[in-house]
């Protein structure tokens, strides 16, 4: 079950990069988050309401879930969508955010109490080198806007890492009143929707081109990614240590690059392939346990 959950997570999660890049010509990044998360709130509210489980579990638990949502949904996706808007290819965004295992390894001991081995650290550092090779070859030092665009996904890395470690620590503390996954997702979505509403209205006026492809893609982003992928991520975090869940993000670049090549005909350069190969070496060191 864990293997199937991990495979499903990788496929669903990385389809989100493609969906976001596809709809951005029709809607601004903040407006995209506005529609996506208010729609998710509505779906979850109806689902929980019909089962009489839509409740206020207490200020502390609601605040925690909202914080996780703002980090793992709002900040993560905000940085990703703005990077895509400024022209960073979806595969490259996925490659940058694949740095999460390195940051997770660095912080997991402090936040979640899960120590990392020297072999894992070597793997993560090699993985970082692979990302550096690819991103460094794409950045134009003469264009500050280009540099900013390629730096934005690093904000996503920090946000999703903090969110997953905070949630993992909560799981390890085994709090008896921890929220069920679906109710937690509702408050995560609500926190994100509330945070992006005013900026989306003020800066973008909620302008949206609601043609059929946009509606279909948004339906997938809400159900397949925000419900499916995020639900699987928190489900995996409850069953695996934070480092093993984070290692799944290393699978994102090849999957996303293949999807982007098929959908957008994105160019894959020699530097991209070299970076991917280097990342693959780092992944094998960080995740494959040596024989005893």
The pLDDT score that the predictor gives to residue 116 is 66
Residues 16-62: tens digit of each pLDDT: 888 888 888 889 999 999 999 999 999 999 999 999 999 898 898 99
Strand positions, DSSP E, the chain: none
Residue 34 near residue 206 (C-beta atoms within 8 A): yes
The pLDDT score that the predictor gives to residue 241 is 67
| Residue ranges in the chain whose pLDDT is less than 50 | 292
292 belongs to a structural domain: no
Number of folded domains that form the chain: 1
Give me the domain span that covers residue 98: 2-287
Q: Which positions ≥6 away from 85 have C-beta within 8 Å?
A: 24, 29
175 belongs to a structural domain: yes
Burial-class residue 68 by CB neighbours within 10 Å (0-12, 13-18, 19+). buried
The pLDDT score that the predictor gives to residue 292 is 45
The pLDDT score that the predictor gives to residue 235 is 81
């Amino acid at each position: 079950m864990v293997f199937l959950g991990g495979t499903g997570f990788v496929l669903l999660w990385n389809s989100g990069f493609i969906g976001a890049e596809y709809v951005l010509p029709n809607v601004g990044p903040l407006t995209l988050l506005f529609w996506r998360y208010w729609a998710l709130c509505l779906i979850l509210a109806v689902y929980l309401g019909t089962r009489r489980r839509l409740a206020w579990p207490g200020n502390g638990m609601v605040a925690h879930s909202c914080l996780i949502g703002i980090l793992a949904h709002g900040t993560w996706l905000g940085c990703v969508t703005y990077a895509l808007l400024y022209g960073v290819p979806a595969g490259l965004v996925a490659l940058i955010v694949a740095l999460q295992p390195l940051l997770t390894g660095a912080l997991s001991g402090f936040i979640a109490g899960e120590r990392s081995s020297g072999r894992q650290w070597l793997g993560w550092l090699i993985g970082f080198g692979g990302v550096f090779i690819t991103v460094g070859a794409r950045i134009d030092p003469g264009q500050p806007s280009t540099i900013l665009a390629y730096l934005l996904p690093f904000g996503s890395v920090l946000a999703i890492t903090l969110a997953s470690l905070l949630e993992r620590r909560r799981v390890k503390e085994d709090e008896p009143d921890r929220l069920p996954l679906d109710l937690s997702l509702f408050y995560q979505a609500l926190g994100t929707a509330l945070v992006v509403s005013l900026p989306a209205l003020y800066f973008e006026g909620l302008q949206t081109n609601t043609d059929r492809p946009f509606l279909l893609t948004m339906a997938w982003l809400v159900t397949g990614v925000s419900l499916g992928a995020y639900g699987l991520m928190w489900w995996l975090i409850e069953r695996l240590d934070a480092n093993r869940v984070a290692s799944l993000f290393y699978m994102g670049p090849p999957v996303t690059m293949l999807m982007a090549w098929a959908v957008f005909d994105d160019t894959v350069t020699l530097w991209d392939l070299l970076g991917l190969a280097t990342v693959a070496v780092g992944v094998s060191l960080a995740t494959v346990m040596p024989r005893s």
